[in-house]
């Protein structure tokens, strides 16, 4: 929305930064710079306003380094990043009142708590006669812009994808400003370190070794992917031992790069490619991200409740010991354990492996998908509420366009198919590294060969677990039919 008052042409402009921690293709910053007025970039850390879905430990680690990177970039442009803590409406109103700011520009977010937060900010600032303008900085298609012919939200991906393509109006990304005009005085700011974002757990070294957050790193990774692995994306995307995916997800989540920049770079690279099908396949995956936000906006209860209401009666068996074994990568299934150990060490897991470990938790162990979603939320550097919710409900069979519940991933066949050389397993489960390719996917079948390792035995037998899961599905159906 945009509300304009008589005094909106004077005074500094506040740019409220949220999940758009970059200076290029940042519509909020560009509008503020174009106004020719002093610009005050502000980030407000408000975990209490996000409730149960405040940033997890891995996300806080990323945010710490992302804010440091953005601060350095703004300094190079003659500006400064102001950091505040507490309710966003209170802090932004205080900055506006103290420094005579007459306008605020921000990027819309679509998570339930974020929507409530921005309504509070708008109400407070508009009441104080501050011009407020919201822009789209994080999606290609805002959830309110795509609807079925009857005006209802989409619940199936393919027609949503087609609607997006028919609405496509690709525009060039906005260049970064060469200079940002500063106010005569700067508001008080806390230091990044004062936010106490860094987790006090033993994975920080692994995150440091794996990632360099920030806009520069995002652009570098995008260029490497667009001019390299993008050409073979469809062939390589399911192979966790290869560099076949972009690994841009955390940069997209924190807005260190925009989806429009990604599409632009991938399309430019496709012009010089013999075949553009892989590039198109990758853009299709970006639109899955759009679909996730579309669903979360229209069905906000799905963050912790199934979209398909009958699954509320599913007979789970929430065994804490089984969950702990899954979290620690000690299930006895090499591909599952490799994925969970990669997650703990790096804050990341290959998407194919995410599906396998999620299926194992929900269907082999009968542990509620919400428990897995919470663990991913705390341990993934790319933890995104929309994507996390869509992914877990998809695997659990209870969401929009979900995989049927009876589709149960076999962790052995998935391992043999997508890690045929067992390179991924050998890297993340080193105690099995000496086993041959014919043994490593099912070490329990060859106990004499595996006795020299401390690798655990299977915590559940898959064929038994599959039958139990299907029986549980039938019980749920019967319970649903029995309801008056």
pLDDT at 316: 95
Kindly state whether residues 454 and 407 are assigned to the same domain. Answer: yes
Kindly state whether residues 452 and 346 are assigned to the same domain. Answer: yes
Give residue 456's domain range: 309-482
Q: Given pLDDT bands bounded at 50, 70 and 90, which one contains residue 169?
A: confident
Kindly state whether residues 387 and 460 are assigned to the same domain. Answer: yes
Rounded Cα gap, residues 32 and 26, in angstroms = 10
Rounded Cα gap, residues 339 and 333, in angstroms = 10
Residue 443 placed within a domain: yes
pLDDT exceeds cutoff 50 at 258: yes
Considering only residues 384 and 270, tell me which one the structure prediction assigns the higher pLDDT. 384
CATH code of the domain covering residue 377 = 1.10.579.10
Rounded Cα gap, residues 29 and 81, in angstroms = 12
**Average pLDDT in the 436-458 region?**
82
Structural contact between residues 16 and 114, judged by C-beta atoms closer than 8 angstroms: no
Kindly state whether residues 327 and 460 are assigned to the same domain. Answer: yes
Which tens digits make up the pLDDT trace of 415-435? 999 999 999 999 999 999 989
Strand 103-107 and strand 13-17: the pairing is parallel
Strand 2-3 and strand 131-135: the pairing is antiparallel
Domain end: 264, 298, 332, which one?
Answer: 298
Q: Long-range CB contacts (< 8 A, 24+ apart) of 246-250?
A: 246/221, 246/222, 246/282, 247/221, 247/348, 248/218, 248/221, 248/222, 249/382, 249/384, 249/387, 250/62, 250/211, 250/213, 250/347, 250/348, 250/381, 250/382
Q: Taking the alpha carbons of 7, 9, 13, 17 in that order, is the dihedral positive or negative?
A: positive
Which tens digits make up the pLDDT trace of 111-123? 999 999 999 999 9
Kindly state whether residues 102 and 222 are assigned to the same domain. Answer: no
**Average pLDDT in the 266-282 region?**
80
Residue 186 placed within a domain: no
Which tens digits make up the pLDDT trace of 71-81? 999 999 999 99
Kindly state whether residues 279 and 366 are assigned to the same domain. Answer: no
Structure tokens at 462: 């898959």
CATH code of the domain covering residue 34 = 3.40.50.620
Q: Given pLDDT bands bounded at 50, 70 and 90, which one contains residue 145?
A: very high
pLDDT exceeds cutoff 70 at 449: no
Name the residue among 468, 381, 363 with its Cα closest to residue 372: 363
Domain end: 137, 152, 182, which one?
Answer: 137
pLDDT exceeds cutoff 80 at 448: no
Place of tokens 């162990």: 365
Q: Given pLDDT bands bounded at 50, 70 and 90, which one contains residue 279?
A: confident
pLDDT exceeds cutoff 80 at 276: no
Whether the predicted model's global pTM rises above the 0.85 cut: yes
Structural contact between residues 319 and 468, judged by C-beta atoms closer than 8 angstroms: no
Kindly state whether residues 152 and 284 are assigned to the same domain. Answer: yes
Percent of the chain with pLDDT over 90: 84
Name the residue among 354, 365, 359 with its Cα closest to residue 458: 365
Kindly state whether residues 335 and 216 are assigned to the same domain. Answer: no
Kindly state whether residues 318 and 256 are assigned to the same domain. Answer: no
pLDDT exceeds cutoff 60 at 6: no
Residue 366 placed within a domain: yes
Rounded Cα gap, residues 160 and 147, in angstroms = 8
pLDDT at 229: 87
Residue 328 placed within a domain: yes
Kindly state whether residues 227 and 283 are assigned to the same domain. Answer: yes
Q: Give the phi and the psi of residue 422 in degrees, each rounded to 5.
A: 60, 20
Considering only residues 165 and 452, tell me which one the structure prediction assigns the higher pLDDT. 165
Kindly state whether residues 130 and 146 are assigned to the same domain. Answer: no
Residue 470 placed within a domain: yes
Mean per-residue pLDDT of the chain: 93
**Average pLDDT in the 312-338 region?**
96
Q: Given pLDDT bands bounded at 50, 70 and 90, which one contains residue 273?
A: low
Residue 201 placed within a domain: no
Structural contact between residues 103 and 131, judged by C-beta atoms closer than 8 angstroms: yes
Kindly state whether residues 263 and 328 are assigned to the same domain. Answer: no
Q: Long-range CB contacts (< 8 A, 24+ apart) of 466-470?
A: 466/363, 466/364, 466/408, 466/410, 468/366, 469/363, 469/364, 469/366, 469/405, 469/408, 470/406, 470/408
Structural contact between residues 219 and 248, judged by C-beta atoms closer than 8 angstroms: no
Least confident window among 46-55, 137-146, 393-402, 451-460: 451-460
Name the residue among 171, 213, 188, 180 with its Cα closest to residue 59: 213
Place of tokens 């139990």: 468
Structure tokens at 217: 């790193």
Domain end: 111, 137, 163, which one?
Answer: 137
Residue 180 placed within a domain: no
Considering only residues 482 and 15, tell me which one the structure prediction assigns the higher pLDDT. 15
Question: How many domains does the chain divide into?
Answer: 3
Residues 6+ apart with CB under 8 A from 309: none
CATH code of the domain covering residue 154 = 1.25.40.80
Q: Given pLDDT bands bounded at 50, 70 and 90, which one contains residue 278?
A: confident
pLDDT at 3: 36
Residue 240 placed within a domain: yes
């Amino acid at each position: 929305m945009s509300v304009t008052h008589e005094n909106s042409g004077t005074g500094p402009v506040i740019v409220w930064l949220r999940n758009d921690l970059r200076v290029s293709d940042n519509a909020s910053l560009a509008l503020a710079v174009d106004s020719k007025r002093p610009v005050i970039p502000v980030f407000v850390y408000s975990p209490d306003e996000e409730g149960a879905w405040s940033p997890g430990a891995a996300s806080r680690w990323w945010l710490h380094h992302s804010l440091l990177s953005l601060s350095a970039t703004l300094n190079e442009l003659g500006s400064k990043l102001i950091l505040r803590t507490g309710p966003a409406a209170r802090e932004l109103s205080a900055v506006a009142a103290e420094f005579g700011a007459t306008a605020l520009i921000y990027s819309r977010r679509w998570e339930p708590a974020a929507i409530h937060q921005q309504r509070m900010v708008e109400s407070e600032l508009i009441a104080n006669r501050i011009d407020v303008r919201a822009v789209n900085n994080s999606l290609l298609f805002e959830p309110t812009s795509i609807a079925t012919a009857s005006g209802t939200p989409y619940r199936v991906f393919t027609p949503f994808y087609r609607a997006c393509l028919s609405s496509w109006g690709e525009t060039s990304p906005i260049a970064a400003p060469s200079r940002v005009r500063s106010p005569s005085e700067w508001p008080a700011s806390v230091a990044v370190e004062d936010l106490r974002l860094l987790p006090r757990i033993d994975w920080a070294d692994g995150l440091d070794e794996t990632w360099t957050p920030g806009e520069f790193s995002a652009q570098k990774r995008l260029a490497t992917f667009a001019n390299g692995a993008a050409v073979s994306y469809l062939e390589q995307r399911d192979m966790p031992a290869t560099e076949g995916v972009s690994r841009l997800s955390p940069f997209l989540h924190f807005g260190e790069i925009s989806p429009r920049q990604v599409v632009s770079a991938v399309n430019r690279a496709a012009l010089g490619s013999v075949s553009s099908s892989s590039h198109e396949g990758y853009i299709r995956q970006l639109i899955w991200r759009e679909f996730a936000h579309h669903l979360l906006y229209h069905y906000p209860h799905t963050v912790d409740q199934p979209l398909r209401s009958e699954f509320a009666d599913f007979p789970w068996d929430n065994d804490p010991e089984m969950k702990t074994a899954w979290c620690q990568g000690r299930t006895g299934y090499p591909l599952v354990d490799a994925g969970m150990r990669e997650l703990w060490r790096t804050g990341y897991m290959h998407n194919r492996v995410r599906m396998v470990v999620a299926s194992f938790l929900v269907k082999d162990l009968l542990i509620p998908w919400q428990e897995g979603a919470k663990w991913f939320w705390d341990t993934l550097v790319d933890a995104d509420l929309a994507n996390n919710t869509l992914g877990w409900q998809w695997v659990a069979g209870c969401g929009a366009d979900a995989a049927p519940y009876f589709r149960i991933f076999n962790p052995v066949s998935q391992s043999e198919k997508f890690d045929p050389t067992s390179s991924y397993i050998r890297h993340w489960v080193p105690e099995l590294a000496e086993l041959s390719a014919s043994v490593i996917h099912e070490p329990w079948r060859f106990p004499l060969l595996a006795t020299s390792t401390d690798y655990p035995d299977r915590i559940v037998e898959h064929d038994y677990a599959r039958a139990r899961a299907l029986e549980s599905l039938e019980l749920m159906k019967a319970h649903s039919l029995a309801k008056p």
